[in-house]
Structure 1
């Protein structure tokens, strides 16, 4: 038995599919008694069932869910072994919708998810408990069909082709009068469901709505249609500004969506199709949610002047995001198999567009935060050269690391390298408090140890409340990765120092609060720690910080890093194991500050094959 929980957002179905695949892999690796029964077909069916149940709960009910997968042995009465999948949400008052005939214009579009579940599961049902509602399905394990061999896994459009090769025969599906044996129809339907599940993963992996639109064309043409087009509204449900004020339909011109993508089997006809479709997007009745709507064939006087075309409204979370249009020449109408398949596909497209927009909003906010939290440049210090490397784990997003080098007057300069024990908005709140206070306290003339004392008090008071407020706000927006109660985001490791140029070099006074210790390298390559370890900021009331003072002479180098450098992992090994950072620094003797910083950055990246899993920052200060 395995369990997990997922937040209520459009990425939840993809996470659910990964969960059930991982469960099957774990059961097989552990050689559990159920392992021999875990066929590829059972895995595919389980992925589809769980994906549809989560979609129903998360996307349409808008709630977080708990997932459970468990195997049932053969019962004493001979009932075959089964795999039970349960999806539990916390809005039991919301009904599970499945009957298309019962829908009204005010009823949310629940799609055909439970129809798919019923077609694959031996049985399914709904269990209500106090405060929860569980939708479950049981799949038969015995007698599973032979596994379909996989071709090598690719990405992008190649993976889409692989999904289609595993069962979806477009030529048969597109037959105007399908004549198939029952077992052949079952095989095709299962292939279509596999296509939907794997197409969902491809779409969910796109973080840009225009890339989603491009992938839609590659998935549909020429497999299910000769051509397709997708229109997208902006975030407010409107189209692009600047459209002509004259609209023959009498509609608000700002509500005309933009034509995001046009795809045709024959590439030389794509631009002609675009010119035709740009004149007027399809008009869909308000009463229609995601169901297919026949629309007039757009070509007149062309070789393919006869055919069928269908439009689908792209809706997610009760909002219209766009329109999908497909067409096939030589047909009077699309077969029901294709109509229903593309309807389910269009729901996934809408979810992918919604998820991409959420990511874009978050990335935009992150970039704005990043510009406001970090200095645009570091100050030049007389008698010293400096170099900085700063690489947040989330590119463009606010990391937990920060830096600063700034003048404070009276011939003094200060520097800081910090690491908040948290990420995202919580870390941004703490950085937004700490960096300005550092500058203020330094310019007021407080010595290094007193700056740390006062900043520690600030974090114990204001930062805790502010960071908790940020966490609550993120949770209210359905954010992922929200820290639990008692978050440590107010904890801050900090290396802070003051530099004063003198006749003999530069006088340096610094202190390290829970931070990787700074390393001092003499011109001959000797490396020593330049500070003593002390407690993190924001942990205890009266830590009584102390500082170290020493002289930097010509050729001396001070290296300051965050734990993204020292704790870079390769299996069980860390970069700084066995004084690895000190040995690396000694090997850089004779290099200038910029060359030294770049060499250490490259060695940290090369330490492991995988990308760094933490923010990375290092500051090099070198006396001239």
Structure 2
């Protein structure tokens, strides 16, 4: 009888491989009850894998092999890489060539009883051998948990299939036909990928092809039945060579409930657990690794399907998942209270959770449970929990052992937790500060969704999706982001674009990651949800709280963005009523307008313009209301519509100013003064136009002659809205062909750069004099650019300017 035990796994050639290898060897030696060899074995493994990664740079396969019938019993650890060209000197000889090559293997000579290297055409295997002393017990003691569960033998079918290393099925026995419904001729030649719903197993998440390449593998899987369903099965794989020397994988497959036929359940190692915990606490390790290792020890030593470490949240009355091991269920944050509470200070065993706490049974996906409190100074700081899928799996003896472990780890866990909380608090503040700074001032919902997804990937999740809910209640997928950008398109296709149910009730697509949804809520209103996918089986409470804080921050920014969008829509509607939709065409006259509100995001302000036809002439107006923003825009609307209405009724320019002056005073809004430049253009037979103009406290218009001469063409009079008895007069001049008339608001003349204004020393006139020969649009653009670049900071006042240029074409237009 072959009593050799073999366990293999594989890693990519990355810097993380040595750490994964150390965890794998610790776990395997714990299962084999060889913890007394763990420290030397882990150190040797770390050196072998590190050498393979550094010097070979390829993927690495790690194999642990235990021969219990050898004299003495021996443990071998083998590391295989795929770069055999780089040789390693024999034991006792110094390395040659590269001075660093093989240096780490000096430890093998000191710690191992033997070591060596095996070369093939495609691979290099470095192995170490350790002889096992008297501390090894080859036979596990019988116990209730070591017994096979009672299941009907009629359902037992041991399917046997053979596949090559590419996963192509070569043979399929009749028992496999009974188990899965497929006839041999239907599956031979097909890929196992079509028959196995593979999601990876354990913390190393090997692909199906990588698993086929292992010497031996055992684990759970789901295989596709001919009727379309998925059958939970247990697989035991061996690798062998065919007649021609080709490697083949042999799978023995049984229903999951008959897994004990291929490998009996691990018997609890309660006597070993205490010693392993003591060894664990003697070593300094990161807090998260400490909790993960405790959970693994509890899970393995108890024979349960899963184990958890729960820790109290702030306030001490809530308990959240901090670590998990085994077939964990993707738990998030706080568990249902149930048996967990700050007042419970004794261990508890529950034979069937469905009989007492259905919600907790659903969260844990378990029927039986045992837990023990972590007590420090009489206060409950957390729990050790172990679960199993079938009821009645644990006994009272286990609770005593579990409480003993809890007593050992409580104080070290609390000490590490306090240090981790301080570090996490600083990291949490830093993360939220970064998020707040990144989202600050962003008023676009789509951009907020994109930034949110990229904030959590890859720091917290493998992928993230943001759903947005608009004011009508419609929810849509706004943005997705995957840590591998090549998967973004597939991720978007796999998620519902418009969910047909509430986001907390969506049946998310099943994939290799655990999918979690967090609502975006503020002020009692939903703005959507943040959905993430994580490969880790649990979400620690600290991360759950951090994501909740992030979602509140994102919700507030979405709320602000929606208010901003509503205000922008209102401004656009107001602009359509306050500013002309189009400037009236004037034959023989060319016009150009520049309008820029000072307030960021506004479309209208205190400046306004208009240019329209009345009978056989044109009217124009340029005004500036004291102030800016919506209040000034209200006066703008009154002034522009009043000017247009009075002009259409054939009032003179002087009468228009007089009537508008009285209208403003009747409004009674003190401090709302208005400067207005109003004029008429009447075409002349010889070309050009006769301009009648009046300025009520407005910067005078400037006329540019073709020779470059610039002159102010109106005398400022009293502002409108100040004195009821004010009287206004007009001035008349001729705008000859090629003449340019520039009308501006004080946002142009008073543009400031330190103590200087743009119009100091007739600066605007000098600027205009250099515009000879330009079109009206060319003049307007040159003045606008000069205003913009006059100072490094943006203008604090509304800017409006109107340019009119006469041309000789007017003579032909009026004939």
TM-score (norm 2): 0.46
Partner of 1:515, secondary structure, is: coil
Distance in 2 of aligned mates of 1:383 and 1:280: 56
Distance in 1 of aligned mates of 2:315 and 2:623: 57
The Cα of 1:358 is off from its aligned counterpart by: 0.6
| Deviation sequence 1:260-306 (CA, Å, 0-9, x none) | 12222122333333333307859779xxxxxxx8x899454x5x2xx
Query: Greater CA deviation, 522-531 or 559-568?
Result: 522-531
The Cα of 1:562 is off from its aligned counterpart by: 1.1
Match runs of 1:152-551 below 5 Å: 180=416, 182-183=418-419, 185-236=421-472, 238-239=473-474, 257-278=475-496, 281=499, 298=508, 300=510, 302=511, 304=512, 307-331=513-537, 333-393=538-598, 394=600, 397-409=603-615, 411-462=616-667, 464=669, 488=671, 490-504=672-686, 505-551=688-734
Pair 533,340 (structure 1): closer, same or farther in 2 beyond 3 Å: same
The Cα of 1:335 is off from its aligned counterpart by: 0.8
Distance in 1 of aligned mates of 2:759 and 2:793: 17
The Cα of 1:197 is off from its aligned counterpart by: 2.6
The Cα of 1:494 is off from its aligned counterpart by: 1.0
Which of 761, 769, 793 is the equivalent residue of 1:610?
793
Pair 101,447 (structure 1): closer, same or farther in 2 beyond 3 Å: farther
Report if aligned partners of 1:297, 1:309 keep a CA contact under 8 Å in 2: no
Q: How many residues align?
A: 398
Pair 351,440 (structure 1): closer, same or farther in 2 beyond 3 Å: same
Partner of 2:495, secondary structure, is: helix
Map of 2:100 onto structure 1: none
Pair 377,280 (structure 1): closer, same or farther in 2 beyond 3 Å: closer
| Deviation sequence 1:72-130 (CA, Å, 0-9, x none) | xxxxxxxxxxxxxxxxxxxxxxxxxx98989xxxxxxxxxxxxxxxxxxxxxxxxxxxx
Pair 328,518 (structure 1): closer, same or farther in 2 beyond 3 Å: same
The Cα of 1:386 is off from its aligned counterpart by: 2.0
Distance in 2 of aligned mates of 1:284 and 1:297: 10
Which blocks of at least 5 consecutive residues in structure 2 are unaligned?
A: 1-313, 319-412, 808-815
| Deviation sequence 1:499-534 (CA, Å, 0-9, x none) | 112234421111111211111222222222111112
| Deviation sequence 1:576-606 (CA, Å, 0-9, x none) | 1111001111122232322222222222222
Distance in 2 of aligned mates of 1:463 and 1:500: 36
Distance in 1 of aligned mates of 2:660 and 2:557: 43
Distance in 1 of aligned mates of 2:747 and 2:701: 14
Distance in 1 of aligned mates of 2:497 and 2:576: 41
Map of 2:214 onto structure 1: none
Map of 1:64 onto structure 2: none
The Cα of 1:396 is off from its aligned counterpart by: 6.0
Distance in 2 of aligned mates of 1:344 and 1:503: 74
Map of 1:588 onto structure 2: 771
Report if aligned partners of 2:654, 2:694 keep a CA contact under 8 Å in 1: yes
| Deviation sequence 1:358-377 (CA, Å, 0-9, x none) | 11111111112212221122
Distance in 1 of aligned mates of 2:540 and 2:713: 75
| Deviation sequence 1:564-583 (CA, Å, 0-9, x none) | 21122222211111110011
| Deviation sequence 1:446-492 (CA, Å, 0-9, x none) | 2211110100111122373xxxxxxxxxxxxxxxxxxxxx5x4x322
| Deviation sequence 1:337-390 (CA, Å, 0-9, x none) | 101111011000100111111111111111122122211222233442222222
Query: Greater CA deviation, 193-202 or 507-516?
Result: 193-202
TM-score (norm 1): 0.59
Which blocks of at least 5 consecutive residues in structure 1 are unaligned?
A: 1-97, 103-176, 240-256, 286-292, 465-485
Distance in 2 of aligned mates of 1:281 and 1:614: 47
Pair 555,272 (structure 1): closer, same or farther in 2 beyond 3 Å: closer
Pair 101,428 (structure 1): closer, same or farther in 2 beyond 3 Å: farther
Distance in 2 of aligned mates of 1:279 and 1:606: 46
The Cα of 1:395 is off from its aligned counterpart by: 5.5
Map of 2:117 onto structure 1: none
Distance in 1 of aligned mates of 2:592 and 2:562: 36
Distance in 2 of aligned mates of 1:184 and 1:101: 19
Report if aligned partners of 1:513, 1:535 keep a CA contact under 8 Å in 2: yes
Distance in 2 of aligned mates of 1:373 and 1:178: 67
Pair 272,557 (structure 1): closer, same or farther in 2 beyond 3 Å: closer
Pair 316,101 (structure 1): closer, same or farther in 2 beyond 3 Å: farther
Pair 534,335 (structure 1): closer, same or farther in 2 beyond 3 Å: same
Distance in 2 of aligned mates of 1:452 and 1:383: 27
State which structure, 1 or 2, has the greater radius of gyration over its C-alpha atoms. Answer: 2
Map of 1:254 onto structure 2: none
Query: Greater CA deviation, 582-591 or 609-618?
Result: 609-618
Pair 426,221 (structure 1): closer, same or farther in 2 beyond 3 Å: same
Partner of 1:621, secondary structure, is: strand
Report if aligned partners of 2:476, 2:497 keep a CA contact under 8 Å in 1: no
Pair 326,529 (structure 1): closer, same or farther in 2 beyond 3 Å: same
Match runs of 1:128-147 below 5 Å: none
Report if aligned partners of 1:284, 1:313 keep a CA contact under 8 Å in 2: no
Pair 179,235 (structure 1): closer, same or farther in 2 beyond 3 Å: farther
Map of 1:244 onto structure 2: none
Report if aligned partners of 2:602, 2:629 keep a CA contact under 8 Å in 1: no
Cα RMSD (Å) of the superposition?
2.8
Partner of 1:378, secondary structure, is: coil
